[in-house]
Chains A and B, each alone.
Chain A
Amino acid sequence: MADPMRIRANVVGDSTEVKVLMNHEMETGQRKDAQGKTVPAWFIQSVTATYNGKTVLSAQWGPAVAKNPFLSFKFKGGAKGEKVQITWTDNRGDKRTDEATIS
């Protein structure tokens, strides 16, 4: 199981600003190891953020997103104490969901 994400969600005016730091190698599939063998690609392919059961952001990524990906976005609404969930799925089918309380 992959390491947890760090999620911060703050109320800014009438919106909620979400910042996410994920733990993932994001291996491109371009690199070669010491033996000259290509290191297989391993990266997050899709990310979904939900608030109150509604999707507030979804993304598809390629391997060129940086290692330990950072993501920030903002959506209308959200109140202190409510929760935001983030889920990612990588190309090996690994999945991880974490949630944060809006503050």
Chain B
Amino acid sequence: MTLLTMLAAAGWLRPETVLAADAWNAAAFDTKSMDDTMKALGGGTPVPSTGIAFVQTPDIAENGAVVPIGIASTIPNTQSIAILIEKNPNTLTAVFDIPPGTDPSISTRVKMGQSSNVYALVKADGKYYYAAKEIKVTLGGCGG
């Protein structure tokens, strides 16, 4: 047994992905429902909130490959904002960590395989809140 394998066995050496400062949460990104995503994120059941708004997000997306999504939270101490798409192969799409001093408002573009509910999941003061919006897709963006 070489020193390296001994270290690895002892758990001192880990794959590089784990060493990265903000390790990618593979388990959470592999989930297939909002409940599973919540479990993987280690959160409880989120409560609906009117403090979360979708901005510049269409009701109908003509092209599922590029769907603009904007989420703004007015919940105090918003720590993170996540985008969940119910009917995509994997529910969790993106998680944004909002450090103090950064506006709890982000916008990006996502892919949607079909019409689906989209959830904006906000973590504030350690609790989870969400808002939902249905986006209709006329042309799917996954597979093809």
Contact = CB atoms under 8 A, between A and B. Distances in A.
Interface of A: 15, 26, 28, 30-32, 45-46, 48, 54-67, 69-77, 89, 91, 93
Nearest to A49: B102
Given A31-B143, A46-B22, A57 B101 contact: no
A48 B110 contact: no
B90 A62 contact: yes
Interface residues of B, number: 38
A59 B102 contact: no
A99 B102 CA distance: 18
Interface stretch (B1-9, B43-51, B91-99, B129-137): B91-99
B94 A61 contact: yes
A39 to B, nearest CB: 11
Contact of A31 (B96, B101, B144): B144
A61 B93 contact: yes
A64 B24 contact: no
Contacts of B142: 28, 30-31, 64
B58 interface: no
B105 interface: yes
A46 B108 CA distance: 14
B102 A70 contact: no
B78 interface: no
Given A66-B110, A73-B106, A74-B103, A60 B22 contact: yes
B67 interface: yes
Contacts of B22: 46, 48, 58, 60
A46 to B, nearest CB: 6
